[in-house]
Amino acid sequence: MSNIYAVTGNEAVANALRQINPDVCAAYPITPQTDLMQRFASFVSDGLVDTEMILVESEHSAMSACVGASAAGGRAVTATSGPGLALMWEILFVASGMRLPILMPVVNRSLSAPLNIHGDHSDAMGARDSGWVQLWSENAQEAYDNTVQALLIAEHMDIRLPIMVCLDGFIISHSIERVEYLDDDIVKNFVGTYKPQNPLLDIQHPKSIGPLILPDLYTEYKRTQHEAMSKVKNIVLKTADDFAKISGRKYSLFETYRLDDAEIGIVILNSAAGTTKDVIDIYREKGIKVGLLKPRLFRPFPYEEIRETLQHLKALCVLDRCDSFGAFGPLYTEIASSLYLSENKPIMINKIYGLGGRDYMPEHAKIVIEELIEIANTGKVKLFKDYLGVRE
Amino acid sequence: MKLKGWKEITPGAVILEAGSSAEFKTGSWRAYKPVWIKENCIQCLFCWLYCPDMAIKVKDGKREEFDYDYCKGCGICALECPGKKGKKAIVMEEEGN
């Protein structure tokens, strides 16, 4: 029987969660994530999973319940979007500081005000320093595949960190695409049985969690979180290798597209990468050497690998679907940090695009490529940071 | 006590021994110190009851001296103390005087 279905991104991720069969799921509805958790709640009601579903009164409580469940020794999941992630803020740091491997799909949405429910990376970008691992997904297939791989990364005994799987709100969460599922048994074997570290329910060994740590030790605990993060890269690559064996689909720290011999390049996250690749093909036919890099692992950020991949370019544009008002976009600053140690680095510009779900169209990619051609030829930049497709 | 380095601590600050809070001498936080005036004490044990820590030592149903290792000097005992004939059996004094 074929495992190929026409499903939305939310449906694909909900199905991955069903196959994972977590012990506890605490969730609160928020657009565009609602449909994901609604589908998962149906699996719970239909007895297709053994999960204890906790319906809470806010995202702050959802993450708190996940922290409790995970500390008790269970495999805990939730999902959220935009303002829901913002409301979890405090507890995101509790989850990572307590080293609890919670899995959370984040269906990326903008932040208010003005009130907006659409696809935008402001939510997860704001949480980039919360100590969570972040995987980003271009389409429903990648969102499904990343969800299946996420727990193996989070629960690795060398790291024990919570993990977000990011997918674009509406553009991916609500669009129907071709997705190839793995068999239930294959996913079950792949994610294996959860082995908790120091679970509270091990009552033969009483312990305290979440203690007060004063200035004499706080820095040391933060240093251990950095150490754990520094081990994530290799575990992501090892997990991707194992995943390729069961799926035939290959993943890495980032994806490159026609970049090896490129002279100009674009760095862009998630769904807009697909549109950009199509436009790159058009320019390649005209003989323009343009390529793309799409980050997958954003936290921890693979600085060295990205430096080696981009340093040969003459001009580079980093596109951010998120703004940092009065500063460069968050992806731009990371790419700039990567390239700083390079002797020959490209001229770099930053474009803010697609905020609040504004469509990113092929003509936007064309504007960027035309500007990069001009910069590569003249070495001159008009504006280092600008807005793509904004009306004057 | 030698402080631990980052390679020696448990992940997520989990404390693996039970009852380890006794090692944390919170009395060092104190700015005001309760002083017990024994002759004004009627042994009502209100101080023992109200103390948010366990800083009032009791033996054979009678209160004894404060446990200054853990008393943070909150002053609740002095506030609640009924004393004897209008004279408090617990008064707060500034530390270091």
* Closest by CA position to A92, among listed A175, A167, A163, A184: A163
Statement: residue B62 has pLDDT above 90: yes
Q: Å from B13 to nearest chain A CA?
A: 7
Residues of chain B in contact with residue A227, where contact means CB-CB under 8 angstroms, are 6
Q: What is the ipTM of this complex?
A: 0.86
Of the residues A157, A220, A222, the best mutation for testing chain B's interface (the one with the most B CB atoms within 10 Å of its CB) is A220
Tell whether A148 and A227 lie within a shared domain.
yes
Strands A133-137 and A103-108: unpaired
Q: Å from B17 to nearest chain A CA?
A: 6
Tell whether A308 and A216 lie within a shared domain.
no
Residue A392 placed within a domain: no
Residues of chain A in contact with residue B13, where contact means CB-CB under 8 angstroms, are 97-98, 209-211, 213, 221
Give the domain ranges of chain B: 39-97
Residue A113 placed within a domain: yes
Residue A129 placed within a domain: yes
Residue A235 placed within a domain: yes
Tell whether A305 and A172 lie within a shared domain.
no
Residue B22 near chain A (CB below 8 Å):
no
Q: Which of A197, A228, A247 is the last residue of a domain?
A: A247
Cβ-Cβ contacts under 8 Å for A89 (sequence gap 6 or more): A127, A130
Q: Does the distance separating the beta carbons of A224 and B11 come in below 8 Å?
A: yes
Q: Does the distance separating the beta carbons of A160 and B13 come in below 8 Å?
A: no
Residue B4 near chain A (CB below 8 Å):
yes
**Closest residue in chain B to residue A98, using alpha carbons only:** B12
Model confidence band, residue B96 (pLDDT cutoffs 50, 70, 90):
confident
Tell whether A241 and A354 lie within a shared domain.
no
- Average pLDDT along chain A, 392 residues, taken 10 residues at a time: 91 98 98 98 98 98 98 98 98 98 98 97 98 98 98 97 98 98 98 95 93 95 98 98 98 98 98 98 98 98 98 98 98 98 95 98 98 98 97 95
Q: Does the distance separating the beta carbons of A209 and B14 come in below 8 Å?
A: yes
Q: Residues 49..108 of A with a Cβ closer than 8 Å to B: which?
A: 97-100
User: How many contacts does A have with B, using Cβ atoms within 8 A?
Assistant: 53
Residues B39-97, CATH architecture: 2-Layer Sandwich (3.30)
Name the residue range of residue A149's domain.
4-247
Tell whether A117 and A24 lie within a shared domain.
yes
Residue A226 near chain B (CB below 8 Å):
no
Tell whether A268 and A339 lie within a shared domain.
yes
One-letter amino acid identity for A352? I
Report pLDDT for A184: 97
Cβ A317 vs Cβ A368: under 8 Å: yes
User: Domain with A317 in it: what CATH number?
Assistant: 3.40.50.920
Residue A239 placed within a domain: yes
Q: What are phi and psi of B96, to 5 degrees?
A: 90, -5
Residue A319 placed within a domain: yes
Q: Does the distance separating the beta carbons of A160 and B12 come in below 8 Å?
A: yes
Q: Which of A194, A226, A247 is the last residue of a domain?
A: A247
Report pLDDT for A1: 53
Statement: residue B19 has pLDDT above 90: no
**Closest residue in chain A to residue B8, using alpha carbons only:** A220
Tell whether A40 and A185 lie within a shared domain.
yes
Domain count of the fold of chain A? 2
Report pLDDT for B64: 95
Q: Which of A247, A278, A302 is the last residue of a domain?
A: A247
Q: What are phi and psi of A193, to 5 degrees?
A: -95, 135
Nearest to B12 among A99, A223, A227 (CB): A99
Tell whether A216 and A268 lie within a shared domain.
no
One-letter amino acid identity for A270? N
Tell whether A223 and A259 lie within a shared domain.
no
Looking at the DSSP bridge assignments, the partners of residue A293 are: A256, A267
Q: What b/e readout covers A41-78, taking b as 16+ CB neighbours within 10 angstroms?
A: bebbeeeebebebbebeebbbbbbbbbbbbbbbbbbbb
Q: Å from B34 to nearest chain A CA?
A: 25
Tell whether A13 and A85 lie within a shared domain.
yes
Tell whether A225 and A274 lie within a shared domain.
no
Residue A223 near chain B (CB below 8 Å):
yes
Residues of chain B in contact with residue A221, where contact means CB-CB under 8 angstroms, are 6, 9, 13
Nearest to B16 among A99, A198, A217 (CB): A198
Tell whether A347 and A232 lie within a shared domain.
no
Model confidence band, residue B23 (pLDDT cutoffs 50, 70, 90):
confident
Residue A209 near chain B (CB below 8 Å):
yes
CA–CA separation, A65 vs A81, rounded Å?
17
Residue A202 placed within a domain: yes
* Closest by CA position to A124, among listed A153, A78, A98, A86: A86
Residue A221 near chain B (CB below 8 Å):
yes
* C-alpha to C-alpha distances, A169 to A77, A95, A324, nearest whole angstrom: 19, 24, 20
Phi/psi region, residue A356 (left: phi>0; alpha: psi -120 to 50; beta: rest), is: left
Cβ-Cβ contacts under 8 Å for B79 (sequence gap 6 or more): none
